[in-house]
Amino acid sequence: MKRVAHRIVETKKAGSDVCVVVSAMGDTTDDLLDLAEQVSPVPPPREMDMLLTAGERMSMALVAMAIADPGHSVRSFTGSRAGVITDAAHGKAKIIDVTPGRITEAPGKKHIVIVAGFRGVSRGTKEITTLGRGGSDTTAVALAAALEADVCEIYTDVDGIFTADPRIVSTAHKIDRISHDEMLEMAASGAKILHLRCVEYARRFNMPIHVRSSFSSKEGTWVLAPDPEGAEDMEEPIIAGVAHDNSEAKITVVGVPDQPGRAGQIFTTVAEAQVNIDMIVQNVSEADTGLTDISFTLPMTDGQIAVEALMRTKDEVGFESIQYDDQIGKLSLVGAGMRTNPGVSATFFRALAEAGVNIEMISTSEIRISVVTRADQLDDVLRALHTAFGSDSADGEAIVYGGTGR
Ligand code: ASP
Ligand code: MG
């Protein structure tokens, strides 16, 4: 806290106006979740948000105190007081407006402003909401955009964005610059370094993000709009990085009648249960039975809800059974260069074959290839792919300064 305070004061002294968004310390949010679990299996979402916002509130006040101590002028604000207005969805609220009047008017430019991240207030219900895990990043970019900041710096426990999670791939190296589009794919594919919605927000408002370490003053990674000249540059790497996700599960709807409308029924049911799905695969139907299997992936935390919702439609849709599998891992290769360079898929699938990995699902976008494998193979595949695409760093191991990555 004192080191953070020192850094903030130095930045202010260097002549910048500073607004700081804090998240909770270390494992605080996970510890609060554990506490909730001990008293209630399914806590009311409103009360969950009341609990979880405590972590950010603690950080906010402590950082402000650490700054105020040597006599600097500082004011702290909760999300609602900072004008972070959201929709009403507890636990996964979306920011719909930022009205930072209190920050810009009341204290004037003399003060250093500290804002509690991850939280806002619903315009409709006036209740306190949270933005979903990792949401402080989104608060930071949203405030940066509203305050018309020059840059949003995100401080973390590694030197920047890496070509793979340095906790698993020790030869991962820091990326100097990455486009908003590539970062969006990385975040959507499970890279936890930046919250997905933070990157969406940054792209929409064209806000540069500088991801850097709180433990060193080294230059980190810049997330920027693509440089129109850089795109033609032969030195630009084809691949930005590999991301992995072990938080998803797979549902297979077995024996679905192969008739128009069945997939529509299935996915409407899932959507009405407020569950977001990711990859979808439908098998070719067996000619003699006229039945097919449809598999899709979804967040593991929504697995039970989706299975129950689907089972209620079993007779209506006419499928045979549901299989649920939470031992899957997803791996994604991201890079804008795959649009224009042939052979990326060939290298990708050859590397998987050499690692002896069986592929269960495949999906692609213009700049991404993702596969689902067994969860226990994920780390090995990640390393194999990283090597296959020549991303291994020549100069030693990546530094992870702290944190558990939990
Ligand atoms: N404290 C919240 C979390 O652990 C928000 C954040 O860290 O950005 O998810
Ligand atoms: Mg975080």
Instruction: Assess whether pLDDT exceeds 70 at residue 233.
Output: no
Ligand 1 atom index nearest CA of 56: 1
Ligand 1 atom index nearest CA of 136: 8
Residue 26 CA, ligand 1 centroid: distance in Å: 9
Residue 275 CA, ligand 1 centroid: distance in Å: 21
pLDDT at 404: 46
pLDDT at 104: 83
Lowest mean pLDDT among 218-232, 304-318, 357-371: 218-232
In sign, the C-alpha dihedral spanning 388, 389, 394, 399 is negative
Residue 397 CA, ligand 1 centroid: distance in Å: 27
Kindly indicate the confidence band of residue 80, based on its pLDDT and cuts at 50, 70 and 90.
very high
Residue pair 140/103 in contact by the 8 Å Cβ criterion: no
Ligand 1, from 136, 155, 193: best to mutate by most atoms within 8 Å of Cβ?
Answer: 136
Instruction: Assess whether pLDDT exceeds 60 at residue 146.
Output: yes
Kindly indicate the confidence band of residue 231, based on its pLDDT and cuts at 50, 70 and 90.
low
Kindly indicate the confidence band of residue 376, based on its pLDDT and cuts at 50, 70 and 90.
very high
Kindly indicate the confidence band of residue 81, based on its pLDDT and cuts at 50, 70 and 90.
very high
Ligand with smallest separation from the Cα of 193: 2
By percentage, how much of the chain surpasses pLDDT 90?
Answer: 76
Determine the Cα–Cα distance for residues 308 and 312; give it in Å rounded to an integer.
6
Picking from 325, 388, 329, 322, the residue whose alpha carbon sits closest to that of residue 358 is 329
pLDDT digits (tens, 9 = 90+) for 121-137: 999 999 999 999 999 99
Asked if CATH classification 3.40.1160.10 holds for the domain at 2-231, the reply, yes or no, is yes
pLDDT at 396: 57
Instruction: Indicate the average pLDDT of the chain.
Output: 91
Q: What is the rounded (10 degree) CA torsion for 112, 193, 130, 92?
A: 150
Residue 315 CA to its chain's centroid (Å)? 37
Determine the Cα–Cα distance for residues 135 and 31; give it in Å rounded to an integer.
17
Ligand 1 atom index nearest CA of 135: 8
User: What residue owns the CA closest to ligand 1's atom 7?
Assistant: 134
Instruction: Assess whether pLDDT exceeds 80 at residue 102.
Output: yes
Q: Report in angstroms the alpha-carbon separations of 112 from 25, 135, 317, 362.
A: 20, 22, 59, 48
User: What residue owns the CA closest to ligand 1's atom 4?
Assistant: 29
The residues lining ligand 1, judged by C-beta closer than 6 Å to any ligand atom, are 23-24, 29, 55, 117-118, 133-137
Instruction: Assess whether pLDDT exceeds 70 at residue 398.
Output: no
pLDDT digits (tens, 9 = 90+) for 320-342: 999 999 999 999 999 998 988 88
93: tokens are 């609220």
Ligand with smallest separation from the Cα of 55: 1
Ligand 1, from 34, 56, 138: best to mutate by most atoms within 8 Å of Cβ?
Answer: 56
Residue 182 CA, ligand 1 centroid: distance in Å: 23
Ligand 1 atom index nearest CA of 131: 5
Mean pLDDT of 161-173: 91
Mean pLDDT of 238-258: 94
Ligand 1 atom index nearest CA of 24: 1
What one-letter code names the amino acid at 96? I
Ligand 1 atom index nearest CA of 30: 4
User: What residue owns the CA closest to ligand 1's atom 9?
Assistant: 133
**Neighbour count for residue 353 (Cβ, 10 Å):** 12
pLDDT at 402: 56
By percentage, how much of the chain surpasses pLDDT 70?
Answer: 93
User: Do strands 19-22 and 112-116 pair parallel, antiparallel, or not at all (unpaired)?
Assistant: parallel
pLDDT at 390: 81
Instruction: Assess whether pLDDT exceeds 80 at residue 43.
Output: yes
Ligand with smallest separation from the Cα of 138: 1
Residue 172 DSSP class: -
Ligand 1 atom index nearest CA of 137: 8
Mean pLDDT of 10-24: 93
Termini Cα distance of the chain? 20
Ligand with smallest separation from the Cα of 131: 1
User: What residue owns the CA closest to ligand 1's atom 8?
Assistant: 134
pLDDT digits (tens, 9 = 90+) for 257-281: 999 999 999 999 999 998 999 999 9
pLDDT digits (tens, 9 = 90+) for 58-75: 999 999 999 997 678 899
pLDDT at 113: 94
Ligand with smallest separation from the Cα of 25: 1
pLDDT at 40: 95
User: What residue owns the CA closest to ligand 1's atom 5?
Assistant: 134
Burial per residue of 164-182, b for 16 or more beta-carbon CB atoms within 10 angstroms, e otherwise: bbbebbebbbbbebbbbbb
Instruction: Assess whether pLDDT exceeds 70 at residue 236.
Output: no
Instruction: Assess whether pLDDT exceeds 80 at residue 308.
Output: yes
Instruction: Assess whether pLDDT exceeds 60 at residue 211.
Output: yes
Kindly indicate the confidence band of residue 54, based on its pLDDT and cuts at 50, 70 and 90.
very high
Instruction: Assess whether pLDDT exceeds 90 at residue 283.
Output: no
Ligand 1, from 27, 78, 84, 118: best to mutate by most atoms within 8 Å of Cβ?
Answer: 118
Contacts of residue 208, defined as CB under 8 A and 6 or more positions apart, other chains included, come to 150, 151, 152, 202, 222, 223, 224
Instruction: Assess whether pLDDT exceeds 90 at residue 89.
Output: yes
Kindly indicate the confidence band of residue 405, based on its pLDDT and cuts at 50, 70 and 90.
very low
Ligand 1 atom index nearest CA of 195: 8
Kindly indicate the confidence band of residue 109, based on its pLDDT and cuts at 50, 70 and 90.
low
Instruction: Assess whether pLDDT exceeds 80 at residue 107.
Output: no
pTM: predicted TM-score of the whole model, two decimal places:
0.85
Residue 182 DSSP class: H
Determine the Cα–Cα distance for residues 15 and 17; give it in Å rounded to an integer.
7
Residue 360 CA, ligand 2 centroid: distance in Å: 31
